Each structure stands twice: as structure tokens, then as C-alpha cells.
């Protein structure tokens, strides 16, 4: 249930509406938008006297909400959420947020050189995997805490905030202390214990869509994080598993439109993991911007042929610079900037 207050309502009218809702046994969330104030009922709203609530002075209308996700729902929060990153960048604002870097951190020289190049091309944050979920136990699993240390060194040298994926609740303290944006990967999208714990962090959380997850399941995972206390959730579409085998996954750009309608949370697109082919990344990135994405996360490696992880889908720093140059006029066509 949500309650929409009338423009110019009085403080005592707001308190009266909250009181009636709390008497019905729910916790009340208050969302103050640029033009509208909305009260959301968290919990079972069946005992709320909807007729009494609707007749209160200052109340414009009362509506039942059928979707199971509440805090992530645009009905509760009509205005787009904009998430601040260290250094002044934002995700969800007019300027596209482009995050770039290698799949895996491999060495100090590798991660620092890539960080310097993507920053020069306009990236707002550096991505890099320190803990890698791999299908094969014999594949490179990442450098672990040493990888986080090298990311921090790259941040020191470039000023770029760092984004890295957490795999286990055992590493919460490490990520809380050192990582600017904590990524929850596709394989952990429904690891609800992990979601609950990252929801307690005072960090933006980048939540990737599971490879076989519906849009509602994706938003419910965001709800788990938000209900634990962290409203700074960034969604990321990275392709879903279908019958097609030519590409690594199938990039679902319609999900960007669907989520932007259903939720106020910002949405990024990862064309690298979606396609699995470096030559597709540029056009799919441009398509994502045209579809309304708030930004991109791109895999960039200075030597893709010898990358320890996901080389075939990584573009070079020169190719990234060319992509950013092409995004500038495109972004202007859809009311955004790079």
C-alpha cells in the first residue's frame, strides 16, 4: 500500500496518516520526491483501514501495490535515484557512468596502466576482479586480497574509485575498508545471506542480474539489500542464458526499459559479459545508451590475447578511447552526456 499526500500538506496531516498506518501494524517508509511525498507500508497492510486513511486531510489517494518489491518500486519512489561515487562521479544522473577495467587484476603494472588509460578516456571508476568465480576449478581464481591491494594502489595513482566483486561474507571487512563499490556477481544474485550482509555496508552495491533470472527476481534481490538498510543499489544487466550459443549470453536490452519503468534504481549494462566477443562491445554499448541505460561497465585489457581471464571479450585501451568518442554525440541525442 502507498499513500500519496496532497501538495502543500501540513506536518500534522502527515503525522495523522502515519499514525493510521502504524495502527495497522506496518512500518512506514517516507519518500520525498521533487513534487510528491509518498508513504509506503512495509509489512502486511491488510489490517489498515484504507477508507479511513483516504478520508484524512492532506491525503490525495491510497493505492494497493501488488508487486512484492517495495523499496525498489518506482511507485514508492517516483524520482530516479542518483548514487554518488567518491571523486564526484554519479550513477543515475545526466552524465553516463562508464566503469572500465580488466576482468582480473594481474599485476601492479597491468592494473595501473589500464587505470591511467581508461581515466584519460573518461571512465568514472575502475573495475577489477580480485576474487573470481570460475566454472573450472583449474582456471585462474584471482589474486584475492593482493588484488584488492593492487586496486588500491591504482586508485592512489589515478584517483579513480574502485569496483570489485565480493564472493564471500568472510571478506566483508576487507571490502568495507578498501573497495568503493561492492559488486555482487550474477552467480550470487540470489545468495540471500550475502545480500543481507552487503546491505549492512555503507557502500554502493552493484547488483548484476543472474544469468537465468527474471526481472522481478532481480528486483527482489535488490529489495533484500535495501531492506537490510542500504538503498544505494546499482543494477547491471549482463546478459541472460538462452538457447543461443554464438554469444556468451543474450543481452536483454528490453530489461533496461522494463526496470526503468518498474524501479527508480539506476541501471548499467555490461556488453562485455553479455556478448563474450570484443568486436561486439562497441555497438552493444551504443545500443545500451540508446535504450536508456544510465551507464556501462566495460572490460578493458592492455594485452587481451594474454589475459588470465576473459581475454576474448576485452577491448584494448585504444578501442575504449574510440568507443568513448563515439558515445559523446550519441549521449547528446538521448539527453545525456559523457
The per-residue pLDDT for range 150-192, each reduced to its tens digit, is 999 999 999 999 999 999 999 999 999 999 999 999 999 999 9
pLDDT at residue number 292: 96
Q: Which residues contact 179 (CB under 8 A, 6 or more apart)?
A: 148, 151, 162, 163, 164, 166, 203
Distance CA 102, CA 96 (A): 20
For range 127-133, the mean pLDDT: 88
pLDDT tens for residues 250-293? Answer: 999 999 999 999 999 999 999 999 999 999 999 999 999 999 99
What does the pLDDT average to over 108-126? 97
pLDDT exceeds cutoff 80 at 137: no
Is there a common fold for 2-63 and 83-333? no
234 DSSP β-pair partners: 206
Question: What was the pLDDT predicted at 138?
Answer: 66
**What are the sequence ranges of the domains in the chain?**
2-63, 83-333
**Mean pLDDT in residue range 297-315:** 93
Under DSSP, the state recorded for 72 is: T
3-state class (DSSP) for residue 223: helix
CA-wise closest residue to 295 among 303, 285, 305: 285
75's grid cell: 511507485
Average pLDDT (295-311) is: 94
CATH topology assigned to domain 2-63? Alpha-Beta Plaits (3.30.70)
pLDDT score of 201: 96
List Cβ neighbours of 245 (8 Å cut-off, separation of 6 or more): none
* Of 273, 205, 198, 192, the residue nearest 237 (C-alpha): 273
> What percent of the chain is predicted at pLDDT more than 70?
99
Q: Mean pLDDT throughout 111-119?
A: 97
Conformation bin of residue 2: beta by default, left when phi > 0, alpha when psi is -120 to 50 = beta
CATH 3.20.20.70 fits 83-333, yes or no: yes
Q: What nine digits make up the cell of 40?
A: 509506503
Q: Fill in the DSSP letter of residue 267.
A: E
pLDDT in tens, 35-88: 889 998 887 777 888 888 999 999 998 988 888 888 899 988 889 999 999 989
pLDDT at 219 over 70: yes
Per the CB < 8 A criterion, the answer to whether 173 and 201 are in contact is: no
Q: Are strands 125-127 and 97-101 parallel, antiparallel or unpaired?
A: parallel
Q: Residue 108: which pLDDT band, with cuts at 50, 70 and 90?
A: very high
Reported as a single tens digit per residue, the pLDDT across 8-28 is 999 999 999 999 999 888 889
Whose grid coordinates read 582480473? 104
Amino acid at each position: 500500500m502507498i499513500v500519496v499526500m496532497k501538495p502543500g500538506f501540513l506536518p500534522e496531516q502527515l503525522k495523522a496518516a502515519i499514525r493510521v498506518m502504524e495502527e495497522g501494524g506496518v512500518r512506514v517508509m517516507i519518500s520525498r520526491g521533487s513534487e510528491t511525498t509518498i508513504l509506503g507500508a512495509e509489512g502486511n497492510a491488510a489490517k489498515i483501514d484504507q477508507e479511513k486513511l483516504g478520508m484524512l486531510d492532506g491525503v490525495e489517494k491510497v493505492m494497493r501495490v501488488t508487486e512484492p518489491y517495495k523499496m525498489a518500486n518506482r511507485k514508492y519512489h517516483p524520482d530516479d535515484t542518483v548514487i554518488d561515487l567518491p571523486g564526484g562521479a554519479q550513477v543515475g544522473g545526466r552524465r553516463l557512468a562508464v566503469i572500465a577495467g580488466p576482468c582480473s587484476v594481474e599485476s601492479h603494472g597491468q592494473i595501473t596502466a589500464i587505470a591511467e588509460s581508461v581515466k584519460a578516456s573518461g571512465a568514472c571508476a575502475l573495475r577489477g576482479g580480485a576474487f573470481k568465480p570460475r566454472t573450472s576449478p583449474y582456471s585462474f581464481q584471482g589474486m584475492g586480497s593482493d588484488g584488492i591491494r593492487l586496486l588500491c594502489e591504482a586508485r592512489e595513482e589515478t584517483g579513480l574509485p574502485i569496483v570489485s566483486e565480493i564472493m564471500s561474507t568472510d571478506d566483508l571487512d576487507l571490502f568495507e575498508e578498501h573497495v568503493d563499490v561492492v559488486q555482487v556477481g550474477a552467480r550470487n544474485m540470489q545468495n540471500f545471506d550475502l545480500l543481507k550482509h552487503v546491505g549492512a555496508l555503507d557502500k554502493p552495491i552493484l547488483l548484476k542480474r543472474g544469468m537465468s533470472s527474471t526481472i522481478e527476481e532481480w528486483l527482489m534481490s535488490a529489495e533484500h539489500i535495501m531492506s537490510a538498510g542500504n538503498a544505494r543499489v546499482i543494477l547491471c544487466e549482463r546478459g541472460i542464458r538462452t538457447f543461443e550459443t554464438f554469444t556468451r549470453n543474450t543481452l536483454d536490452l528490453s530489461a533496461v526499459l522494463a526496470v526503468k519503468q518498474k524501479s527508480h534504481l539506476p541501471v548499467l549494462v555490461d556488453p562485455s559479459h553479455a556478448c563474450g566477443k570484443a568486436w561486439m562491445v562497441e555497438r552493444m554499448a551504443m545500443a545500451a545508451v540508446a535504450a536508456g541505460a544510465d551507464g556501462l561497465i566495460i572490460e578493458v585489457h592492455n594485452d587481451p590475447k594474454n589475459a588470465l581471464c576473459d581475454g576474448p571479450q576485452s577491448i584494448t585501451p585504444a578501442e575504449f578511447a574510440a568507443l568513448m568518442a563515439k558515445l559523446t554525440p550519441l549521449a547528446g541525442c538521448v539527453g545525456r552526456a559523457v
